[in-house]
Structure 1
Amino acid sequence: MLLSKAESLAHRRPAAYDVIVFGGGPAGAAVALALARRGHSVAIFRKRSDVAPPIGETVPPGIARPLAQLGLWDQFRAAGHAEAPGTVVIWGGECPYENDFVFNPYGPSWHLDRAHFDTMLIAAAEAAGAEISDCRVNGCVRQPGAGWNVLIDDNHGGRIVAARWLVDATGRAAWLARRLFAKRYRMDRLVAFVKFARCEVVDESRTLIEACPVGWWYAATLPQRRVVKALFTDADLLPRSASDRVRLWRTTLAATSLISKTSPDPDGASAIHIVAAYSGRLMPCAGRDWLAVGDAAQVYDPLTGQGIAKALTSALRGAEAISASLLQDRFALNDFVSTAAREYEDYAIDQVACYRREQRWSRHEFWKRRNLS
């Protein structure tokens, strides 16, 4: 892509980095942290809006592995995230069943304070030497021979910044990859109706999941006594009007036997937010001097609870591939791409098997789509 202001700024000598990361979420911060610790010069360019507190999430016990690799496990455990000793599920039948993490070698799962979690990662990246810039990226162009020039607007005005490699960590938007003609392939049209509230008394620390005719419910108690509930269904199955959507929320919640009783809808709850939750992958997810990590590369059904853990793992693999490529290892990028492809194919098989375990509403459109042979 041609830089619209490049000619007028060409007389300036651009700042130069080994790697520029677009996006300051968990994947972007983690890949920058890992690269900085390997001795590479790194900058994170993030939108100013990225600084706003994100919504909370539940992460599995295995989150300990990538956090330990990043040297952040002890800091994470001391940060006040809420332990979730297990999951209670109604799926495939009327009776709830429990998945207890007592014997899991990594311990419990966790309900995150996402604002604190993201701040921890970005602070660690900065402490390791990564430069953080809240700016607007106006374009990027590959230079003859090797490297990139990136045009940004920040507190210093418009300027050009050079890099040998670029990383797309812009989440589902995949801002860089889409401009390099990569395409997102989606498996479904899943969205989430998300609602938050405060709860004075916390009676349930486990994660709750319950299937229903139009999709499935998730509920959890986050740190600071915040309760999150989400109804997952397909985007095209939602009513068009806001009032009908609120009615769908209330009637569907009232019909649940686990979510409504264990985590009632309190007064003073937030408005309902609609959030994309579809599964999909970017193809290609890398080129000779760029790659995508986290949700920019692959997005997973929230039912798996693996989104952030996989984002961190993806970031670590991405950092390893870039570092090796900078040292002239021509096979490193192929390994990154093939590993990502195998991981997503395995996930897709597991996702289909999980949804097919629920047959009670096989004639309803949401489930019919997921039970096709």
Structure 2
Amino acid sequence: MDRIVVVGAGVAGLSAARRLTLAGHSPVLVAPDRVVPTRGETLSATAASFLDGLGWSALIDGDTAMASQGRFSIWGDSALRRAAGHENGAHIDRSLLEARMAASLADSGGERLADAVVGLEHLPRGVRIGLADGRWLDAAAVIDASGRAALSGGPTAHRRRLDRLVCAYQVHDVPDDAELAAATLVEAVEPGWWYMAPMPGRRMMIGLFTDSDLLPAGAAKDGRLWADAAGQTLAIAARLDSLGLDTACASLSPQVAPAASVVPTCLVEGRILRCGDAAASLDPLGANGLATALWSGIRAADAALALAADDPAPALAYEGAFLEGIAHHLSAQRSLYTAERRFADAPFWTRRHAFP
């Protein structure tokens, strides 16, 4: 029994399956068909290098990405500044990119079961996977890339949620006569922070990141209330007006997605390895989500191959490197939030200024 099963078909799971395929293994990808929400996301230069290492750099073109003109922010005071360290990236259509990654795997002959996994059981030298249709699969190792749901994240996984962050967002088509600057905009406000990012195909994502209990009353269901909150900003409101999107925002109810930080104390249990959001879900303020998903999928695949050959060392090294990266991320995140003191008495900010 040397089969390796990858659970989940997001960026982390697809990159893990691709790495295994390139290594000459024939993994089984188990994931139900799903609709990937269209949200703005940044492909950093680091993330692009991981795609290149997987032989997937050709998946990035004018349909899936647009070159970024940087990141601008109002943070710490009312001045609009260009943020350092966000050059050479791209704004991507993540749903289209994932679809292309999945198609590439299928073209290479990879096996995919469009079924849900309902349980995992440890075996002396492997894992037994229970499927929703009643079947069972035995594997030498399992890579859990099931996203925030973290299929294998039971009591022994020691995952801890650090906050209640959510994102109430909309995606709009930008009128043809509007000038679309390919730059990200972040603005701190009393209940959290706003984010605007362009997407391929002349689209714009606008989102309010706040804690679930701090969303303006009714704003999650009433686009007018959400748009009113956006209208109280400085740069966000001005940009919406310049793009002719202020009226469109009021006519559409936002979608609400979880964005909380959930961190683990371990990523490897027996022959189960977690990667991507199933390993850790991190506050998106640092814009490292895609790079982390790709890196962890690649490293988890290498570790799974070694575990299948009874060598636990790469799995332990992967776990150590991931946990070290989380510590670095949390330190940087704490510094970013601490830098904003204008709203020091507001609940959203007092919670983050009190981070250990």
**Do the structures match in fold with TM over 0.5?**
yes
**2:106 matched to which residue of 1?**
126
Instruction: Indicate which of 129, 135, 138 corresponds to 1:162.
Output: 138
Q: Which moved more, 1:165-174 or 1:270-279?
A: 270-279
Matched, 1:327 2:309: yes
Q: Given the superposition, is the C-alpha separation of residues 22 and 211 from structure 1 closer, same or farther in structure 2, using an over 3 Å criterion?
A: same
RMSD over aligned Cα atoms: 2.3
Q: Distance in 1 between matches of 2:300 and 2:52?
A: 17
Q: Distance in 2 between matches of 1:194 and 1:80?
A: 20
Matched, 1:294 2:276: yes
Instruction: Indicate which of 356, 359, 362 corresponds to 2:338.
Output: 356
Alignment of 1:140-179 (within 5 A): 140-143=120-123, 145-153=124-132, 158-178=134-154
Q: Distance in 2 between matches of 1:172 and 1:151?
A: 19
Q: What does the per-residue CA deviation read over 1:27-51, in whole Å, with 9 as the maximum and x for residues that have no partner?
A: 0000011011112221111123x24
Shift of 1:324: 2.2
TM-score (norm 1): 0.86
Question: Identity across aligned pairs (percent)?
Answer: 29
Shift of 1:141: 2.6
CA contact (8 A) 1:202 1:221 kept: no
Shift of 1:343: 0.6
Q: Distance in 2 between matches of 1:285 and 1:293?
A: 8
Q: Distance in 1 between matches of 2:166 and 2:213?
A: 9
Alignment of 1:65-214 (within 5 A): 65-77=49-61, 79-99=63-83, 108-143=88-123, 145-153=124-132, 158-178=134-154, 181-200=156-175, 201-214=178-191
Q: Distance in 2 between matches of 1:363 and 1:247?
A: 27
Alignment of 1:187-336 (within 5 A): 187-200=162-175, 201-239=178-216, 241=218, 246=223, 248-264=225-241, 265-269=245-249, 270-336=252-318
Q: Which moved more, 1:61-70 or 1:290-299?
A: 61-70
- Which structure 2 residue ranges, 5 or more long, are not aligned? none
Q: Given the superposition, is the C-alpha separation of residues 204 and 40 from structure 1 closer, same or farther in structure 2, using an over 3 Å criterion?
A: same
Q: SS of 2:152's equivalent?
A: helix
Count of aligned pairs: 348
- Which structure 1 residue ranges, 5 or more long, are not aligned? 1-15
**2:348 matched to which residue of 1?**
366
Q: Which moved more, 1:279-288 or 1:166-175?
A: 279-288
CA contact (8 A) 1:36 1:129 kept: no
Q: Distance in 1 between matches of 2:63 and 2:307?
A: 35
